[in-house]
Amino acid sequence: MGNDNAEKVSLKYRCLRDIVFATDSGIDVDAGLIRRVTWEHDLVRQAIETPHAIVSASIPPAYFEVKDYRILWKVLQEGLPFIKPGESFGKGFLISRLTNEDETYFRGHAGSIWLEYLLMRPPCGANLAIEDLIPRLHARHDIRHWKLRSEDYIQRIDEERTDPIVLHTDWRMEAYSMSQTHDGGSIGKTITRLMADWDPENKENRNIVPLGIPQIDRSNGGGHGRGELMVIGGGTNHGKSYMAQRLMRNQARQGNRALYVSVEDSQDLMTARFIADFSLFGGEENAVQPAKVRDKSADPEVVNRTKVDAERELGDKLYYFHAKKWPISKICDVIRRHRHLCGIDVVIVDYLQAIMPDEVTNQKANDTAFIVAELKKCCDDCEVALILMSQYARDEYRNGVEPTITSCKWAGEIENESEIMLLLWRDDADILHARVAKLKWARSAGRRYIVHVSEATGCMLDWEDDFTVPQTGAEREKRGRRRGDRGAPTGEGTI
Protein backbone atom coordinates (compact mmCIF):
# COMPACT_ATOMS: atom_id res chain seq x y z
CA MET A 1 0.00 0.00 0.00
CA GLY A 2 2.07 2.96 -1.19
CA ASN A 3 1.59 6.55 -2.29
CA ASP A 4 3.49 9.10 -4.37
CA ASN A 5 5.94 9.87 -1.57
CA ALA A 6 6.60 6.19 -1.02
CA GLU A 7 7.42 5.74 -4.71
CA LYS A 8 9.79 8.71 -4.63
CA VAL A 9 11.53 7.25 -1.58
CA SER A 10 11.93 3.89 -3.28
CA LEU A 11 13.37 5.40 -6.45
CA LYS A 12 15.59 8.18 -5.11
CA TYR A 13 16.51 7.39 -1.49
CA ARG A 14 17.04 3.80 -0.41
CA CYS A 15 18.15 4.62 3.14
CA LEU A 16 18.92 7.49 5.53
CA ARG A 17 22.52 7.56 4.31
CA ASP A 18 21.33 8.58 0.82
CA ILE A 19 19.28 11.47 2.26
CA VAL A 20 22.15 12.68 4.42
CA PHE A 21 24.48 12.73 1.40
CA ALA A 22 21.80 14.55 -0.62
CA THR A 23 21.34 17.29 1.99
CA ASP A 24 25.14 17.62 2.41
CA SER A 25 25.33 18.17 -1.36
CA GLY A 26 22.84 21.05 -1.15
CA ILE A 27 19.79 19.13 -2.40
CA ASP A 28 16.53 20.27 -0.78
CA VAL A 29 14.81 17.23 0.76
CA ASP A 30 11.29 17.43 2.17
CA ALA A 31 11.36 17.63 6.00
CA GLY A 32 8.47 15.18 6.34
CA LEU A 33 10.32 12.68 4.19
CA ILE A 34 13.43 13.00 6.35
CA ARG A 35 11.34 12.31 9.49
CA ARG A 36 9.73 9.21 7.99
CA VAL A 37 13.04 7.75 6.82
CA THR A 38 14.63 8.54 10.19
CA TRP A 39 11.82 6.71 12.03
CA GLU A 40 12.29 3.62 9.89
CA HIS A 41 16.09 3.82 10.24
CA ASP A 42 15.86 4.00 14.04
CA LEU A 43 13.34 1.16 14.19
CA VAL A 44 15.43 -1.30 12.16
CA ARG A 45 18.57 -0.25 14.07
CA GLN A 46 16.89 -1.09 17.39
CA ALA A 47 15.53 -4.33 15.91
CA ILE A 48 19.09 -5.41 15.11
CA GLU A 49 20.11 -4.66 18.71
CA THR A 50 17.12 -6.29 20.49
CA PRO A 51 15.47 -8.49 17.85
CA HIS A 52 13.32 -10.61 20.15
CA ALA A 53 11.78 -7.47 21.65
CA ILE A 54 11.13 -5.59 18.40
CA VAL A 55 10.84 -8.02 15.49
CA SER A 56 8.27 -10.04 17.47
CA ALA A 57 5.85 -7.12 16.95
CA SER A 58 4.81 -8.90 13.71
CA ILE A 59 4.96 -5.83 11.47
CA PRO A 60 4.77 -6.80 7.77
CA PRO A 61 7.71 -5.58 5.65
CA ALA A 62 5.20 -3.78 3.39
CA TYR A 63 4.67 -1.22 6.18
CA PHE A 64 8.12 0.26 5.40
CA GLU A 65 8.32 2.92 2.70
CA VAL A 66 12.11 2.75 2.30
CA LYS A 67 13.25 -0.17 0.14
CA ASP A 68 16.44 -1.01 2.06
CA TYR A 69 14.63 -1.08 5.39
CA ARG A 70 11.78 -3.11 3.87
CA ILE A 71 14.29 -5.74 2.72
CA LEU A 72 16.20 -5.62 6.00
CA TRP A 73 13.01 -6.10 8.05
CA LYS A 74 12.21 -9.23 6.05
CA VAL A 75 15.72 -10.53 6.73
CA LEU A 76 15.32 -9.83 10.44
CA GLN A 77 11.99 -11.67 10.60
CA GLU A 78 13.34 -14.71 8.78
CA GLY A 79 16.55 -14.74 10.83
CA LEU A 80 14.93 -14.34 14.25
CA PRO A 81 14.71 -18.12 14.94
CA PHE A 82 18.51 -18.34 14.57
CA ILE A 83 19.18 -15.71 17.26
CA LYS A 84 19.17 -16.64 20.93
CA PRO A 85 17.11 -14.46 23.32
CA GLY A 86 19.19 -11.52 24.48
CA GLU A 87 21.58 -11.65 21.50
CA SER A 88 21.91 -9.15 18.64
CA PHE A 89 22.25 -9.74 14.91
CA GLY A 90 25.86 -9.86 13.73
CA LYS A 91 27.09 -7.83 10.77
CA GLY A 92 28.32 -10.89 8.84
CA PHE A 93 24.98 -12.67 9.25
CA LEU A 94 23.10 -9.61 7.96
CA ILE A 95 25.36 -9.08 4.93
CA SER A 96 25.03 -12.71 3.81
CA ARG A 97 21.25 -12.61 4.18
CA LEU A 98 20.89 -9.20 2.52
CA THR A 99 23.00 -10.36 -0.41
CA ASN A 100 20.64 -13.28 -0.95
CA GLU A 101 17.66 -10.91 -0.93
CA ASP A 102 19.05 -8.24 -3.28
CA GLU A 103 22.33 -9.44 -4.80
CA THR A 104 22.75 -6.55 -7.23
CA TYR A 105 22.78 -3.93 -4.50
CA PHE A 106 24.06 -5.50 -1.29
CA ARG A 107 26.96 -7.43 -2.79
CA GLY A 108 30.36 -5.89 -2.23
CA HIS A 109 31.28 -2.34 -1.29
CA ALA A 110 27.87 -0.59 -1.51
CA GLY A 111 26.11 -3.04 0.81
CA SER A 112 28.90 -2.96 3.39
CA ILE A 113 28.99 0.85 3.51
CA TRP A 114 25.19 1.05 3.84
CA LEU A 115 25.18 -1.41 6.73
CA GLU A 116 28.21 0.23 8.39
CA TYR A 117 26.33 3.55 8.37
CA LEU A 118 23.27 1.92 9.89
CA LEU A 119 25.25 0.25 12.69
CA MET A 120 27.17 3.45 13.47
CA ARG A 121 23.97 5.10 14.72
CA PRO A 122 23.34 4.19 18.39
CA PRO A 123 20.08 2.34 19.15
CA CYS A 124 17.16 4.55 20.10
CA GLY A 125 15.97 2.27 22.92
CA ALA A 126 13.43 -0.56 22.94
CA ASN A 127 10.77 1.44 24.81
CA LEU A 128 10.90 4.30 22.30
CA ALA A 129 10.69 1.84 19.40
CA ILE A 130 7.67 0.02 20.88
CA GLU A 131 5.78 2.99 22.29
CA ASP A 132 6.45 5.52 19.54
CA LEU A 133 8.00 4.25 16.30
CA ILE A 134 5.87 1.12 15.80
CA PRO A 135 2.55 2.99 16.40
CA ARG A 136 3.69 5.63 13.88
CA LEU A 137 4.37 2.91 11.32
CA HIS A 138 0.92 1.42 11.91
CA ALA A 139 -0.83 4.79 11.68
CA ARG A 140 0.99 5.76 8.51
CA HIS A 141 0.14 2.45 6.83
CA ASP A 142 -3.55 2.67 7.84
CA ILE A 143 -3.86 6.21 6.48
CA ARG A 144 -2.27 5.23 3.17
CA HIS A 145 -4.54 2.20 2.97
CA TRP A 146 -7.62 4.27 3.78
CA LYS A 147 -6.77 6.83 1.10
CA LEU A 148 -6.81 4.13 -1.57
CA ARG A 149 -10.00 2.52 -0.23
CA SER A 150 -11.75 5.90 0.01
CA GLU A 151 -11.07 6.55 -3.66
CA ASP A 152 -12.70 3.20 -4.45
CA TYR A 153 -15.77 3.99 -2.32
CA ILE A 154 -16.14 7.42 -3.93
CA GLN A 155 -15.90 5.94 -7.42
CA ARG A 156 -18.49 3.25 -6.59
CA ILE A 157 -20.97 5.76 -5.18
CA ASP A 158 -20.43 8.20 -8.06
CA GLU A 159 -21.01 5.47 -10.60
CA GLU A 160 -24.02 4.17 -8.61
CA ARG A 161 -22.67 0.62 -8.90
CA THR A 162 -23.65 -0.21 -5.32
CA ASP A 163 -26.67 0.53 -3.17
CA PRO A 164 -25.67 3.47 -0.91
CA ILE A 165 -26.87 1.72 2.26
CA VAL A 166 -24.84 -1.41 1.48
CA LEU A 167 -21.81 0.71 0.58
CA HIS A 168 -22.15 2.76 3.76
CA THR A 169 -22.29 -0.40 5.88
CA ASP A 170 -19.19 -1.78 4.13
CA TRP A 171 -17.40 1.50 4.69
CA ARG A 172 -18.19 1.57 8.43
CA MET A 173 -17.24 -2.07 8.87
CA GLU A 174 -13.86 -1.52 7.21
CA ALA A 175 -13.24 1.56 9.35
CA TYR A 176 -13.97 -0.54 12.43
CA SER A 177 -11.72 -3.40 11.33
CA MET A 178 -8.86 -0.96 10.80
CA SER A 179 -9.16 0.14 14.42
CA GLN A 180 -8.60 -3.45 15.59
CA THR A 181 -4.81 -3.44 15.19
CA HIS A 182 -2.48 -5.93 16.87
CA ASP A 183 -0.48 -4.96 19.92
CA GLY A 184 2.63 -3.83 18.05
CA GLY A 185 4.94 -5.36 20.63
CA SER A 186 3.57 -3.44 23.60
CA ILE A 187 4.60 -4.32 27.16
CA GLY A 188 2.11 -5.32 29.86
CA LYS A 189 1.43 -3.11 32.86
CA THR A 190 2.91 -3.90 36.25
CA ILE A 191 0.52 -4.99 39.01
CA THR A 192 1.39 -1.90 41.05
CA ARG A 193 0.44 0.25 38.04
CA LEU A 194 -2.89 -1.56 37.73
CA MET A 195 -3.60 -1.01 41.41
CA ALA A 196 -2.55 2.64 41.24
CA ASP A 197 -4.89 3.23 38.29
CA TRP A 198 -7.89 1.69 40.09
CA ASP A 199 -10.34 4.46 40.98
CA PRO A 200 -12.75 3.28 43.71
CA GLU A 201 -14.78 6.51 43.45
CA ASN A 202 -15.56 6.27 39.74
CA LYS A 203 -18.56 3.94 39.71
CA GLU A 204 -19.36 4.83 36.09
CA ASN A 205 -16.19 3.11 34.90
CA ARG A 206 -17.16 -0.40 35.98
CA ASN A 207 -16.33 -3.01 33.38
CA ILE A 208 -19.46 -5.02 34.15
CA VAL A 209 -22.98 -5.45 32.84
CA PRO A 210 -25.56 -6.45 35.51
CA LEU A 211 -27.66 -9.45 34.50
CA GLY A 212 -30.68 -8.16 36.40
CA ILE A 213 -30.74 -11.34 38.53
CA PRO A 214 -29.74 -10.14 42.03
CA GLN A 215 -28.93 -13.64 43.27
CA ILE A 216 -26.14 -13.89 40.71
CA ASP A 217 -25.13 -10.24 40.32
CA ARG A 218 -24.35 -9.74 44.02
CA SER A 219 -21.94 -12.66 44.15
CA ASN A 220 -20.40 -11.89 40.78
CA GLY A 221 -19.04 -8.46 41.70
CA GLY A 222 -22.09 -6.57 40.50
CA GLY A 223 -22.70 -8.26 37.16
CA HIS A 224 -21.28 -10.08 34.18
CA GLY A 225 -17.89 -8.80 32.99
CA ARG A 226 -17.28 -7.55 29.47
CA GLY A 227 -15.27 -10.18 27.60
CA GLU A 228 -16.35 -12.87 30.07
CA LEU A 229 -18.42 -15.96 29.30
CA MET A 230 -21.58 -17.14 31.00
CA VAL A 231 -22.84 -20.59 29.98
CA ILE A 232 -26.47 -21.50 30.60
CA GLY A 233 -27.04 -25.21 30.26
CA GLY A 234 -30.37 -26.89 29.73
CA GLY A 235 -32.13 -29.75 28.04
CA THR A 236 -35.06 -29.56 25.64
CA ASN A 237 -37.88 -27.40 27.09
CA HIS A 238 -35.83 -26.54 30.18
CA GLY A 239 -36.21 -22.81 29.56
CA LYS A 240 -32.93 -21.71 27.92
CA SER A 241 -34.65 -19.47 25.37
CA TYR A 242 -37.01 -18.04 27.99
CA MET A 243 -33.98 -17.35 30.17
CA ALA A 244 -32.37 -15.51 27.27
CA GLN A 245 -35.56 -13.51 26.80
CA ARG A 246 -35.62 -12.51 30.47
CA LEU A 247 -31.96 -11.44 30.34
CA MET A 248 -32.69 -9.36 27.24
CA ARG A 249 -35.53 -7.52 28.95
CA ASN A 250 -33.36 -6.91 32.01
CA GLN A 251 -30.73 -5.26 29.81
CA ALA A 252 -33.27 -2.94 28.19
CA ARG A 253 -34.63 -1.93 31.60
CA GLN A 254 -31.10 -0.97 32.66
CA GLY A 255 -30.59 1.09 29.51
CA ASN A 256 -28.15 -1.37 27.92
CA ARG A 257 -28.28 -2.79 24.40
CA ALA A 258 -28.25 -6.51 23.70
CA LEU A 259 -28.05 -8.83 20.70
CA TYR A 260 -29.76 -12.24 20.57
CA VAL A 261 -28.18 -14.51 17.94
CA SER A 262 -30.46 -17.47 17.38
CA VAL A 263 -28.93 -20.50 15.72
CA GLU A 264 -32.19 -22.37 16.19
CA ASP A 265 -35.36 -20.37 17.01
CA SER A 266 -37.11 -18.51 14.20
CA GLN A 267 -38.07 -14.85 14.15
CA ASP A 268 -41.77 -15.77 14.54
CA LEU A 269 -41.09 -17.80 17.68
CA MET A 270 -39.07 -15.02 19.30
CA THR A 271 -41.77 -12.45 18.44
CA ALA A 272 -44.57 -14.65 19.79
CA ARG A 273 -42.70 -15.21 23.06
CA PHE A 274 -42.14 -11.49 23.62
CA ILE A 275 -45.80 -10.72 22.86
CA ALA A 276 -46.84 -13.41 25.35
CA ASP A 277 -44.42 -12.06 27.96
CA PHE A 278 -45.68 -8.48 27.67
CA SER A 279 -49.30 -9.66 27.80
CA LEU A 280 -48.65 -10.47 31.50
CA PHE A 281 -48.97 -6.74 32.19
CA GLY A 282 -52.72 -7.38 32.07
CA GLY A 283 -52.47 -10.12 34.69
CA GLU A 284 -52.09 -13.90 34.44
CA GLU A 285 -55.78 -14.32 33.59
CA ASN A 286 -55.49 -12.06 30.52
CA ALA A 287 -52.12 -13.38 29.28
CA VAL A 288 -51.86 -15.10 25.90
CA GLN A 289 -49.88 -18.21 25.02
CA PRO A 290 -47.16 -18.05 22.33
CA ALA A 291 -49.05 -20.71 20.36
CA LYS A 292 -52.16 -18.48 20.32
CA VAL A 293 -50.05 -15.60 19.06
CA ARG A 294 -48.58 -17.76 16.33
CA ASP A 295 -51.89 -19.03 14.92
CA LYS A 296 -53.36 -15.48 15.16
CA SER A 297 -56.18 -16.62 17.48
CA ALA A 298 -55.10 -14.28 20.32
CA ASP A 299 -57.19 -11.17 20.94
CA PRO A 300 -55.82 -8.47 18.57
CA GLU A 301 -56.43 -5.78 21.19
CA VAL A 302 -54.23 -7.61 23.68
CA VAL A 303 -51.51 -8.12 21.06
CA ASN A 304 -51.57 -4.46 20.02
CA ARG A 305 -51.41 -3.39 23.67
CA THR A 306 -48.24 -5.44 24.15
CA LYS A 307 -46.63 -3.58 21.26
CA VAL A 308 -47.20 -0.26 23.05
CA ASP A 309 -45.88 -1.63 26.35
CA ALA A 310 -42.84 -3.15 24.63
CA GLU A 311 -42.03 0.10 22.83
CA ARG A 312 -42.17 1.95 26.15
CA GLU A 313 -39.85 -0.51 27.93
CA LEU A 314 -37.52 -1.72 25.17
CA GLY A 315 -37.28 1.15 22.71
CA ASP A 316 -34.69 0.09 20.14
CA LYS A 317 -32.25 -1.47 22.61
CA LEU A 318 -32.68 -5.18 21.72
CA TYR A 319 -31.67 -6.87 18.47
CA TYR A 320 -32.51 -10.31 17.08
CA PHE A 321 -30.44 -12.05 14.40
CA HIS A 322 -31.23 -15.44 12.87
CA ALA A 323 -28.09 -17.43 12.01
CA LYS A 324 -29.26 -21.01 11.57
CA LYS A 325 -26.39 -23.37 10.69
CA TRP A 326 -23.97 -20.46 10.32
CA PRO A 327 -20.22 -21.02 10.80
CA ILE A 328 -18.53 -19.43 13.78
CA SER A 329 -16.58 -16.86 11.72
CA LYS A 330 -19.81 -15.38 10.31
CA ILE A 331 -21.40 -15.24 13.76
CA CYS A 332 -18.35 -13.39 15.09
CA ASP A 333 -18.73 -10.94 12.19
CA VAL A 334 -22.35 -10.38 13.24
CA ILE A 335 -21.26 -9.64 16.81
CA ARG A 336 -18.56 -7.19 15.69
CA ARG A 337 -20.98 -5.45 13.34
CA HIS A 338 -23.62 -4.97 16.04
CA ARG A 339 -21.03 -3.76 18.52
CA HIS A 340 -19.73 -1.18 16.07
CA LEU A 341 -23.00 -0.08 14.47
CA CYS A 342 -25.45 -0.57 17.35
CA GLY A 343 -23.33 -0.26 20.49
CA ILE A 344 -24.43 -3.54 22.10
CA ASP A 345 -23.28 -4.36 25.64
CA VAL A 346 -24.37 -8.01 25.81
CA VAL A 347 -24.60 -10.80 23.23
CA ILE A 348 -26.61 -13.99 23.80
CA VAL A 349 -25.98 -16.93 21.47
CA ASP A 350 -28.59 -19.70 21.47
CA TYR A 351 -27.23 -22.32 21.30
CA LEU A 352 -23.63 -23.63 21.22
CA GLN A 353 -24.07 -27.09 19.73
CA ALA A 354 -25.98 -25.73 16.72
CA ILE A 355 -23.08 -23.51 15.61
CA MET A 356 -20.99 -24.86 12.75
CA PRO A 357 -17.17 -24.75 12.79
CA ASP A 358 -15.48 -23.10 9.83
CA GLU A 359 -13.86 -26.43 8.97
CA VAL A 360 -15.60 -29.56 10.19
CA THR A 361 -13.16 -32.05 11.73
CA ASN A 362 -15.76 -34.62 12.85
CA GLN A 363 -14.26 -34.36 16.32
CA LYS A 364 -17.13 -32.66 18.11
CA ALA A 365 -15.29 -31.92 21.35
CA ASN A 366 -12.46 -30.16 19.47
CA ASP A 367 -14.89 -28.29 17.22
CA THR A 368 -16.87 -27.13 20.25
CA ALA A 369 -13.71 -25.99 22.05
CA PHE A 370 -12.67 -23.98 18.98
CA ILE A 371 -16.12 -22.36 18.70
CA VAL A 372 -16.17 -21.37 22.39
CA ALA A 373 -12.65 -19.92 22.18
CA GLU A 374 -13.49 -17.92 19.02
CA LEU A 375 -16.69 -16.52 20.54
CA LYS A 376 -14.95 -15.50 23.74
CA LYS A 377 -12.04 -13.86 21.91
CA CYS A 378 -14.46 -11.96 19.68
CA CYS A 379 -16.45 -10.66 22.65
CA ASP A 380 -13.26 -9.78 24.52
CA ASP A 381 -12.06 -7.76 21.52
CA CYS A 382 -15.46 -6.06 21.25
CA GLU A 383 -15.75 -5.53 25.03
CA VAL A 384 -19.19 -7.12 25.29
CA ALA A 385 -20.45 -9.65 27.84
CA LEU A 386 -21.11 -13.10 26.31
CA ILE A 387 -23.92 -15.43 27.34
CA LEU A 388 -23.91 -18.80 25.62
CA MET A 389 -26.70 -21.37 25.76
CA SER A 390 -25.66 -25.03 25.80
CA GLN A 391 -27.63 -28.24 25.29
CA TYR A 392 -27.31 -31.21 27.61
CA ALA A 393 -25.97 -34.49 26.27
CA ARG A 394 -28.51 -37.32 26.28
CA ASP A 395 -25.99 -39.82 27.59
CA GLU A 396 -24.92 -37.47 30.41
CA TYR A 397 -28.32 -36.29 31.64
CA ARG A 398 -31.64 -37.87 32.68
CA ASN A 399 -34.86 -35.89 32.81
CA GLY A 400 -35.91 -34.86 36.30
CA VAL A 401 -32.41 -35.24 37.78
CA GLU A 402 -30.16 -32.35 38.78
CA PRO A 403 -27.47 -31.90 36.08
CA THR A 404 -23.76 -31.70 36.77
CA ILE A 405 -21.10 -29.43 35.31
CA THR A 406 -20.25 -32.15 32.75
CA SER A 407 -23.84 -32.52 31.52
CA CYS A 408 -23.38 -30.08 28.64
CA LYS A 409 -22.90 -31.75 25.28
CA TRP A 410 -19.19 -32.01 24.34
CA ALA A 411 -18.50 -30.05 27.52
CA GLY A 412 -14.70 -30.39 27.78
CA GLU A 413 -13.71 -26.78 27.12
CA ILE A 414 -16.97 -25.12 28.19
CA GLU A 415 -16.17 -25.34 31.89
CA ASN A 416 -12.60 -24.10 31.40
CA GLU A 417 -13.57 -21.04 29.36
CA SER A 418 -16.60 -19.89 31.38
CA GLU A 419 -16.65 -17.49 34.31
CA ILE A 420 -20.24 -18.44 35.20
CA MET A 421 -22.09 -21.70 34.61
CA LEU A 422 -25.81 -21.86 35.33
CA LEU A 423 -27.64 -25.17 34.93
CA LEU A 424 -31.41 -25.42 34.39
CA TRP A 425 -33.59 -28.48 34.86
CA ARG A 426 -37.19 -29.49 35.58
CA ASP A 427 -38.03 -32.01 38.28
CA ASP A 428 -40.71 -34.71 38.06
CA ALA A 429 -43.34 -32.15 39.08
CA ASP A 430 -42.28 -29.89 36.16
CA ILE A 431 -40.89 -27.26 38.54
CA LEU A 432 -38.00 -25.32 37.00
CA HIS A 433 -34.77 -25.27 39.01
CA ALA A 434 -31.49 -23.43 38.51
CA ARG A 435 -28.08 -24.16 39.99
CA VAL A 436 -24.95 -22.00 39.90
CA ALA A 437 -22.39 -24.67 39.06
CA LYS A 438 -19.44 -22.28 38.65
CA LEU A 439 -18.89 -18.69 39.73
CA LYS A 440 -15.36 -17.41 39.33
CA TRP A 441 -15.73 -14.33 41.48
CA ALA A 442 -17.11 -15.98 44.61
CA ARG A 443 -17.42 -19.27 46.46
CA SER A 444 -21.12 -19.46 45.77
CA ALA A 445 -21.14 -22.32 43.31
CA GLY A 446 -23.75 -24.88 44.24
CA ARG A 447 -26.48 -22.40 45.16
CA ARG A 448 -29.85 -23.63 43.93
CA TYR A 449 -32.98 -21.73 43.05
CA ILE A 450 -36.57 -22.36 42.07
CA VAL A 451 -37.52 -20.30 39.02
CA HIS A 452 -41.17 -19.32 38.95
CA VAL A 453 -42.76 -19.54 35.53
CA SER A 454 -46.01 -18.12 34.18
CA GLU A 455 -48.48 -20.95 33.65
CA ALA A 456 -50.15 -19.04 30.83
CA THR A 457 -47.09 -17.98 28.81
CA GLY A 458 -44.19 -20.16 30.01
CA CYS A 459 -42.12 -17.00 30.58
CA MET A 460 -39.84 -16.71 33.62
CA LEU A 461 -40.98 -14.54 36.50
CA ASP A 462 -38.84 -14.49 39.67
CA TRP A 463 -36.33 -16.61 41.59
CA GLU A 464 -36.21 -17.89 45.16
CA ASP A 465 -33.75 -20.01 47.14
CA ASP A 466 -34.32 -23.73 46.73
CA PHE A 467 -34.07 -25.84 49.88
CA THR A 468 -35.81 -28.88 48.40
CA VAL A 469 -33.02 -30.46 46.38
CA PRO A 470 -31.47 -33.46 48.20
CA GLN A 471 -27.75 -33.27 48.84
CA THR A 472 -25.07 -35.86 49.49
CA GLY A 473 -23.56 -36.39 52.92
CA ALA A 474 -20.17 -35.12 51.72
CA GLU A 475 -21.70 -31.94 50.32
CA ARG A 476 -23.69 -31.36 53.54
CA GLU A 477 -20.55 -31.79 55.65
CA LYS A 478 -18.51 -29.48 53.43
CA ARG A 479 -21.13 -26.75 53.59
CA GLY A 480 -21.55 -27.27 57.34
CA ARG A 481 -17.81 -26.79 57.99
CA ARG A 482 -17.89 -23.55 56.01
CA ARG A 483 -20.85 -22.22 58.03
CA GLY A 484 -20.02 -23.79 61.37
CA ASP A 485 -23.53 -25.33 61.33
CA ARG A 486 -23.89 -28.89 60.04
CA GLY A 487 -27.67 -28.88 60.24
CA ALA A 488 -28.55 -25.91 58.00
CA PRO A 489 -30.20 -26.70 54.68
CA THR A 490 -28.46 -26.38 51.34
CA GLY A 491 -28.63 -22.90 49.79
CA GLU A 492 -29.59 -21.14 53.03
CA GLY A 493 -29.96 -17.40 52.61
CA THR A 494 -29.57 -15.38 49.44
CA ILE A 495 -26.52 -14.53 47.44
79 Cβ contact partners less than 8 Å away, ≥ 6 residues apart: 51, 89, 93, 94, 97
Statement to judge: residues 417 and 320 lie in one domain: yes
- Taking the chain, what is the end-to-end CA distance rounded to the nearest angstrom? 56
Domain presence at residue 180: no
pTM of the predicted model as reported, rounded to 2 decimal places: 0.66
Q: What total of structural domains would you count in the chain? A: 2
DSSP 162: S
Domain presence at residue 155: no
Measure Cα distances from 418 to 214, 297, 385, 462, 472 in Å: 20, 42, 12, 24, 26
Statement to judge: residues 288 and 385 lie in one domain: yes
Statement to judge: residues 235 and 369 lie in one domain: yes
Provide φ and ψ at 461, rounded to 5°: -110, -85
Statement to judge: residues 121 and 257 lie in one domain: no
Statement to judge: residues 126 and 250 lie in one domain: no
SS3 label, residue 289: coil
Q: Domain end: 79, 111, 133, which one?
A: 133
Domain presence at residue 317: yes
Q: Domain end: 106, 133, 160, which one?
A: 133
User: What's the CATH code of the domain at 386?
Assistant: 3.40.50.300
Domain presence at residue 169: no
Structural domain harbouring 99: 4-133
CA distance 453 to 239: 9
Statement to judge: residues 410 and 320 lie in one domain: yes
Domain presence at residue 41: yes
Domain presence at residue 168: no
Domain presence at residue 164: no
Provide φ and ψ at 342, rounded to 5°: -115, -15
Q: Domain end: 133, 156, 173, which one?
A: 133
Q: pLDDT tens per residue, the chain (495 residues)?
A: 344 444 444 446 778 888 888 888 888 888 888 898 999 999 999 999 988 888 877 788 888 988 888 889 999 999 988 888 888 998 888 888 888 877 766 665 556 677 888 888 899 988 888 888 988 888 888 888 888 888 888 888 887 777 888 888 788 777 767 766 555 666 667 667 777 877 777 766 568 888 888 878 887 878 888 888 898 888 888 888 888 888 999 999 999 999 999 888 888 888 888 888 888 876 777 788 888 888 888 888 888 888 888 889 988 898 998 888 888 888 988 898 888 888 899 999 988 888 888 887 778 888 888 888 899 988 998 899 999 998 888 777 778 888 888 888 876 667 778 888 888 888 888 888 888 888 887 765 568 888 888 887 888 888 887 776 555 444 444 444 433 433 333 333 333
Statement to judge: residues 378 and 259 lie in one domain: yes
281 Cβ contact partners less than 8 Å away, ≥ 6 residues apart: 305, 306, 309
